[in-house]
Amino acid sequence: MLLTRQKKQRQSIIAIRILIAGILMLYFVTSCGNEKQELVDQPLDRETMPAIHDDSVTMFISDSGIIRYKVLTKDWQIFDTSKDPHWYFPKGLYVERFDSTYQTLATLKADTAWNFTQRRLWRLKGHVFIRNTKDETFSTEELFWDERLQKVYSDKYIEINRPEKLMLKGIGFESNMSMTQYRIFKPHDTNVFVNETSEAQQAQDTQ
């Protein structure tokens, strides 16, 4: 008799829980019904609404099992269904390239960046700064990196600092992908640096 009463109590508790869950589900569906209808009525703009949106991203990219690149960004938006599919980094992009011992070989940063995936074209804009494997630095306001043409270029003002050698300045720039062979189309105000200690040492070596 006691077991039967306990069984009935358990069944009553289960029935009450099911009833409460049903009421909550009904309330949820009813309260969200209008909102769902509004979302359906509003067409998705593939040009302004990213298919994927992520923030505070830190990504490591490996090559043959060895980490070669580190990518940092505060905002990564992917428009893979737009007319011109692209990745968008509105809050900046920072990239480091490593050697096999994880020492930094080169760096890149910009205030804003786009990667047009089908065209294989990168656009960097706003305080663009690059340091290549020769410790040379490049500063400009806009730079394009074309993977198909295997070149980097810009039609903006650019400054190239070659440590202990010279500072190159001018309008318009073109380079290979590794930023080690380059030219400025309209150079001006080139500053030559002379390291007196190095010059003196070279003079002694030749005597």
Burial annotation 75-84 (CB, 10 A radius, 16+ → b, else e): bbbbbeebee
Dump pLDDT digits (tens) for 132-188. 999 999 999 999 999 999 999 999 999 999 887 788 999 999 999 999 999 999 998
Least confident of 18-22, 28-32, 124-128: 28-32
Count Cβ atoms below 10 Å from residue 71 Cβ, excluding itself: 16
pLDDT the model gives residue 31: 37
- Mean pLDDT, the chain, integer: 78
